[in-house]
Chain A
Amino acid sequence: MNLQRVVAIAGKEWREIVRDRLFFTLAFVVPALLMLLFGYGLSLDVENIPFAVVDHDRSAASRDYAYRFIDSRYFRFRGYAGDERDAAQLIGSGAVRVVLVIPPQFGKTLAQARPAAIQTLVDGSFPSRAMTTKGYVTAINAAFSLAAVAQAVSHATGLSQQDALAQLTPIALESRYLYNQSVSSIWSLAPKLIMVILMLSPPFLTALGVVREKENGSIFNIYASNVSRGEFLVGKLAPYVAISSVNILLLWLLAVLLYQVPFKGSLLFFLPATLVYVLCTTGIGLLVSVLVRTQVAAMIVTMVVTMIPAVLYSGLIIPIVSLGAGAHVVAQLMPAMYYTDIVVGCFLKGVGLMSLWRPLAVLALYACLLFAAGYQLFSKRPNI
């Protein structure tokens, strides 16, 4: 490998990138903008769920029950609906996601200290949201139920209502949330966004680089020159890796300064590990660009092999343990999952090389394999 030639290729590529002002700007703007947009917009908290109430009872108890939901920050009251038909229409159109149906005699039944029934309709189009919503509904219902029981008990035993309530809840659940004490989404989200964005932008930048030369025909200059395959690929990729390295810093700063995510690990471990990850994703771009012939194909293949798996199979939204067999295999095959361990470990758990050497080793191996494959498949004597 002749360093001079590598530098020459890298210099040419760099100049080409810089002269394309729009492209050069977008290379930095796109990651930062995505970080901003998703950081604010990609909230996984299920809150402000729109709901309506069908109250057939119209008693004090039924209003009291509805108020428990109206007061909750998890639900947003959208008004009373006349009957079940209206309610069905509201759910169907997506205007509300939950409808409480309070039957007639609800208040009377409770006053007679007998169990009463309520029906809740939940829009199940989004299963995970429906699950969470069910969780909220059950919790609010349980609180109301408990208050009603406490009242009945205090009536029967002569205890004050407060004492009755204390008697009825002898066990307190003391939960400790590890790794994200506030359970605020942005803390668990921002580090993973770094992972997603570094999965998206480096391959895209790279994939087009090689294919562009193929499609333009300027690659024949390389074929005819004395530059070796290795020199060409290293020189070609170096500027893109450099751009992505700047982006690493940029994204890290955004996470720490803007989103105030505590960074408990060491930068000395985090930055090199992230660089290895960027080499992996750049390698994906390289492999795609060697395999396809047109830029259109390069763009689309990169998009589908990086963006969607980066979101679905990386642990961003869905934890890896909940993946089924097929997706689990895909997750193992993608670098994103391993880097998620690293980035989450560095930010939230404050662990370092000692416990993260395994994913780091996998990433390094992955990068080597990708580059080896890219090197093998790139030929200076293509069969056209």
Chain B
Amino acid sequence: MKAEWQLAWRRFAVMLMKELKQLGRDRVLLAFIVYAFTADIFLAASGVSLSLNHAATLVQDLDRSPQSRELLSRFQQPYFRIDGTVGQDAAALAALDQGRAMLVLSVPPQFGRDLANGQPTSLAMQVDTTNSVLGFLATSHAQQIVSQYGLESAMQRLGMGEAATRNLPQVQNDIRVWYNPNQEDSWFMGISEMLNIATVFAVLLPAAAMVREKERGTVEQLIVSPLSPFGILLPKVVSMTGVILCGVALSLFLVLIPVFVIPVKGSLLLFFALSGLYVFTTAGLGLFAATIARNLAQAGMLSILILAPMLFLSGAWTPPEAMPGWLRGLMFASPLHYYLDIAFGILLKGQGLADLQSAILGMGGIGVLVFGAGLLLFRRQFD
């Protein structure tokens, strides 16, 4: 019994060495793994800001009264940046067409007089909504500025001074943003890019390693060896998991923590353990593709089919709440969805095992299912 275990262990160790050597000799690939886990993540984290900043604004003031100047001066940094004035509508449109301005505000003539007389008046705003989200944010901020100014001027006209304005039954809403109080895009972008890269490698590396053996015919050698199908698959997955975990460690300790000061609130040990579980699970998906594909070209196309939805629908790039029900159901089948919760939970929220129970169970469940099915298919292929 003991000898059997020793034998199994030795076989495992030999196969593991083989996989690692094979990977290590592909210098281009190795260099690329390092690039992806460091420079690429650095770029994503440093370079991207999803919020509305300094929207280029042009103003067209047809009134030129103190009131119009006061209102326009309230469109300020950080959301808006007044770039200048335009005289004619055509010039404003041209600026929008060429993307030089994101919004154009125009104050109608008589604005100041109407306001003083209590007549309803308006402020026209043209927004470039080629990007819908930013268009919304710009409109919402503008609306706030306009209503606040309208309220103040109305109160003044109705004879209630500043003291009265301050003492209205208004509701002050104090909004606190948790886990990322300054809404640092770099935290979010950096972590989610790291998870995405890990996912790409976790699907592709084991799948490719498997299909390559098939394509070259070396799999025949493995089959005639005393190795069981499990004994062939396991070392592949374990070696790739090891490489990917090293990559994750590289990006955490070289890029995310020192450069972007991500607060690691939870336990790193737990994070790495669960990352290992995640890579294992996702590798199962790759192996699934590998059992269907007969050559690497097929495996490549199949893995796009697996990877692209996983990355797009994980909830990192777009909010899951906005998806239609059937797609949200599909999301629960993606291990990345759970891993996202786990990674953000541990790194930013400081959650522990107890809080992450359901995510871990979900991910583990998928892993067992996919791995089992992949193993079954693989075994059947060579029986």
Contacts and interface: CB of A to CB of B under 8 A. Distances in A.
Interface of A: 20, 22-23, 26-27, 30, 33-34, 37-38, 40-50, 65, 76, 91-94, 97, 109-132, 134-139, 141-142, 144-146, 148-149, 151-153, 157, 166-180, 183-185, 188, 200-201, 204-205, 208-209, 212, 216, 291-297, 299-301, 303-304, 307-308, 311-313, 315, 317-319, 321-328, 330, 344, 348-349, 351, 355
Contact of A185 (B71, B122, B132, B299): B132
Nearest to B96: A178
B132 A188 contact: yes
B209 A296 contact: yes
Given A149-B151, A188-B129, 12 more contacts: A44-B318, A45-B322, A46-B322, A65-B171, A122-B177, A168-B155, A180-B129, A296-B296, A315-B131, A317-B318, A323-B49, A326-B42
A167 B151 CA distance: 8
Interface in B315-337: 316-319, 321-324, 327
Given A76-B321, A303-B204, A149 B184 contact: no
Nearest to A33: B305
Interface in B294-323: 294-305, 307-309, 311-313, 316-319, 321-323
Interface string B244-287: 00000000000000000000000000000000000000000000
A354 B317 CA distance: 34
Interface of B: 26, 28-29, 32-33, 36, 40, 42-44, 46-53, 56, 71, 96-98, 102, 114-115, 118-137, 139-144, 146-147, 149-151, 153-155, 158, 166-181, 183-185, 187-188, 193, 196-197, 200-201, 204-205, 208-209, 212, 215, 292-305, 307-309, 311-313, 316-319, 321-324, 327, 341, 344-345, 348-349, 351, 355, 358
Nearest to A138: B144
For B28, B132, B196, B298, the residue with the greatest tally of chain A CB atoms inside 10 Å of its CB is B132
B273 to A, nearest CB: 20
Given A145-B171, A175-B139, A41 B313 contact: yes
A168 B50 contact: no
> DSSP majority for the B interface?
helix
B305 A296 contact: no
A115 B295 contact: no
B212 A152 contact: no
B44 A166 contact: no
Contacts of A212: 295-297
Contact of A296 (B26, B130, B168): B26
A319 B183 contact: no
A170 B301 contact: no
A329 to B, nearest CB: 9
